[in-house]
């Protein structure tokens, strides 16, 4: 944010009006996307303030800034200072990951999260909607997936619920990217879709347990084609997250039919080749329904042939800068999450560590740096449900929001602390139960 002339506390003005003008086609009826223009300029000078943006997305961000410039003076009067701001985000992808499979999150909690995201200028909700533990997404094509795979019939997201989330997000300039992670992380899928998962073997007989999705059956890909055709119609964003992480090979190795298939294909004993075979087919399905794909880093690490433009999400903390260098050197866009796993909690002010990260801090050419789309704060749900989602997310994620929005030289920790304590109280006054940064109190 470039601020021409500092907003001094003594430069308070009496404001009669805020005029908002959108210069180009507003895009009011569209969905936001990765190229949406979020820039704006704001001039506060008595008696009228002017907010100017090319598109509605910039106007939304500018209105948020305007609301944060207002404060109460010692007499309780609502006050704003003269200022001149020209602002735009440093990165186009600024996301929050929520996990509704380990614990179901009621729609109310998701909508509240979208409100808080807008207060912090985040623009992507990465909805990790299903996993091993439960399948709450209610599919019209395959209703048994949630009938059998959800925790209970009240722990499901109906088509209406999903539409509500997408529209609520759209009105706040937030994209909703669903994640249907496979071939691992799919135990719940198998409950409602027969013959989808791989039967595991103990020696010569089936052990009554199941592993990842069975990659050797035509029925698998026909099922996935139909499922993703539906998902692509339900979720308007141009990207789907296809997962691809943490695939356990043990069950595949135990299955005689899979071993025969491996021989027939000439894969030898290299089960990464089988994983690649599967992922490539799923990537083809995604492009058939006109969606771009996002995958977790293992897909890249295991040398799956990726279509140009496939986005790789870097999540493993160890050597994540080197991983970014390798992925971008291969020409693929990157989303960084590795240093921002908010489910890892510790005593003290961990927000400082999140704040100090710079997503471009790796060795690579300017062209490589341009491939960094931004990042995501991930809040996995093993220990998170509606009771603690909000305080665990905020204001810790706010530090990441600033890192992804503001210029790289905005990094003074003391200044950030002072602003973040005020902002945390602002969120609390707006009904977001953000936890405290440290000792102190809120004025309101």
User: Is-contact 378 340, C-beta < 8 A?
Assistant: yes
CA distance 111 to 166: 10
Residue with tokens 């050197």: 329
Cβ-based burial of 161 (10 A; exposed 0-12, middle 13-18, buried ≥19): middle
What phi, psi does 400 have (nearest 5°)? Answer: -75, -35
Pull the structure tokens for residue 39.
């820039």
Q: Which of 246, 257, 322, 367 is catalytic?
A: 246
Name the residue among 23, 45, 149, 38 with its Cα closest to residue 404: 38
Element (H or E) spanning 238, and its range?
none
DSSP 158-174: -HHHHHHHHHHHHTTT-
Element (H or E) spanning 240, and its range?
strand 239-243
- Three-state secondary structure string covering 70-106: CEECCCCCEEEECEEEEECCCCCEEEEEEECCCCCCC
Pull the structure tokens for residue 350.
């961990």
Looking at residue 157, the DSSP 8-state letter turns out to be B
* DSSP reduced 3-state for 207: strand
Identify whether 246 is a catalytic site residue.
Answer: yes
CA distance 282 to 22: 40
- Three-state secondary structure string covering 21-52: EECCCCCCCCCCCCCCCCCEEEEEECCEEEEE
User: Is-contact 120 401, C-beta < 8 A?
Assistant: yes
In the chain, what is the straight-line distance between the N-terminal and C-terminal CA atoms, in Å? 27
Pull the structure tokens for residue 267.
């894969």
CA distance 64 to 45: 18
* DSSP reduced 3-state for 390: helix
User: Is-contact 244 302, C-beta < 8 A?
Assistant: no
Name the residue among 392, 394, 389, 413 with its Cα closest to residue 346: 392
80 strand-pairing partners: 13
Active site residues: 246
């Amino acid at each position: 944010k470039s601020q021409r002339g500092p907003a001094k506390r003594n430069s308070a003005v009496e404001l009669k009006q805020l005029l908002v003008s959108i210069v180009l086609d507003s895009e009011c009826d569209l969905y936001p996307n990765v190229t949406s223009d979020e820039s704006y300029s704001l001039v506060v000078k008595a008696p009228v303030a002017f907010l100017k943006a090319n598109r509605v997305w910039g106007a939304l961000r500018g209105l948020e800034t305007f609301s944060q410039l207002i404060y109460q003076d010692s007499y309780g009067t609502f006050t704003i200072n003269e200022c001149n701001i020209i602002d735009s985000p440093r990165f186009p992808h600024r996301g929050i990951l929520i996990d509704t499979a380990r614990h179901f999150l009621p729609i109310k909690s998701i909508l509240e999260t979208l409100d808080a995201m807008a207060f912090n200028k985040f623009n992507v909700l990465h909805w990790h909607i299903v996993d091993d533990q439960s399948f709450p997404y209610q599919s019209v094509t395959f209703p048994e997936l949630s009938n059998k795979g959800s925790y209970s019939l009240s722990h499901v997201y109906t088509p209406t619920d999903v539409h509500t989330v997408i529209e609520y997000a759209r009105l706040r300039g937030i994209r909703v990217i669903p994640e249907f992670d496979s071939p691992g992380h799919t135990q719940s899928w198998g409950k409602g879709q027969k013959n989808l998962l791989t039967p595991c073997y103990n020696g010569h007989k089936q052990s009554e347990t199941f592993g990842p999705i069975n990659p050797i059956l035509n029925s698998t890909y026909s099922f996935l084609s139909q499922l993703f055709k539906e998902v692509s119609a339900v979720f308007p964003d141009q990207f789907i997250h296809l997962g691809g992480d943490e695939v356990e090979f043990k069950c595949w190795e135990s299955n005689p039919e899979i071993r025969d298939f491996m021989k027939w294909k000439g894969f030898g004993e290299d089960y990464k080749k089988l994983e690649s075979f599967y992922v490539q087919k799923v990537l083809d399905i995604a492009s058939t329904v006109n969606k771009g794909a996002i995958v977790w880093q293992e897909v890249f690490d295991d040398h799956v042939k990726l279509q140009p433009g496939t986005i790789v999400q870097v999540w493993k903390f160890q050597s994540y800068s080197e991983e970014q260098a390798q992925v971008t050197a291969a020409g693929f866009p990157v989303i960084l999450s590795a240093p921002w796993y908010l489910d890892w909690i510790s005593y003290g002010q961990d927000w400082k560590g999140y704040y100090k990260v710079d997503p471009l801090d790796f060795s690579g050419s300017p062209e490589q740096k341009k491939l960094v789309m931004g990042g995501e704060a991930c809040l996995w749900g093993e220990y998170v449900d509606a009771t603690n989602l909000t305080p665990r997310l905020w204001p810790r994620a706010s530090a990441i929001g600033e890192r992804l929005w503001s210029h790289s030289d905005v990094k003074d920790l003391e200044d950030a602390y002072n602003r973040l304590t005020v902002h945390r109280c602002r969120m609390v006054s707006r009904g977001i139960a953000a936890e405290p940064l440290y000792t102190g109190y809120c004025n309101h």
